């Protein structure tokens, strides 16, 4: 059974997937993990591989959810993404990093898809 935070995170990822599909993304995998870390969603938009980080907030107490993807988090996601591309033989593919920010402070969650939210960061 999921605890309260896990259930909130799962609901956020479900909202993100629904919004991404509505925009034409095709979901490849969810919660991809390897020894380096995790990527919430890997999708395709046309011929571009999109690595998606989902951030949801119940309030603005800690700011806009998209601001929670810090440089350290970007570096970790980048390393996992490079590993995924290498493992799957797709190192020459076009790829980008998107963030789905979900604001659940009101009655209805607001979902924002930020394309090209950050560049590859592995140093």
pLDDT in tens, 50-93: 999 999 887 666 667 777 899 999 999 999 999 999 999 999 99
Q: What structural domains does the chain harbor?
A: 4-118 (3.40.1350.10)
Residue located via tokens 């979901």? 27
- The answer to whether residue 123 scores a pLDDT higher than 60 is no
Q: Which two tokens stand for residue 17?
A: 């997937």
- The answer to whether residue 102 scores a pLDDT higher than 70 is yes
Check residues 31 and 104 and name the one with the higher pLDDT: 31
What proportion of the chain, given as a percentage, has pLDDT over 90?
72
pLDDT of residue 56: 87
Q: Where are the alpha helices (DSSP H) in the chain?
A: 4-22, 71-87
Q: Which two tokens stand for residue 107?
A: 């009655």
């Amino acid at each position: 059974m999921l605890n309260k935070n896990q259930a909130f995170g799962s609901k956020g990822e479900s909202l993100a997937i629904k919004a991404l599909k509505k925009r034409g993304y095709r979901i490849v995998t969810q919660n991809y993990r390897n020894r380096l870390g995790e990527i919430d969603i890997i999708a395709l938009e046309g011929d571009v591989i999109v690595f998606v980080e989902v951030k949801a907030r119940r309030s603005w107490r800690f700011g806009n959810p998209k601001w929670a993807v810090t440089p350290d988090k970007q570096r970790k996601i980048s390393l996992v993404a490079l590993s995924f591309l290498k493992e799957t033989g797709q190192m020459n593919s076009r790829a980008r990093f998107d963030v789905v920010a979900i604001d659940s402070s009101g009655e209805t969650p607001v979902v924002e898809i930020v394309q090209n939210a950050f560049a590859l960061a592995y140093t």
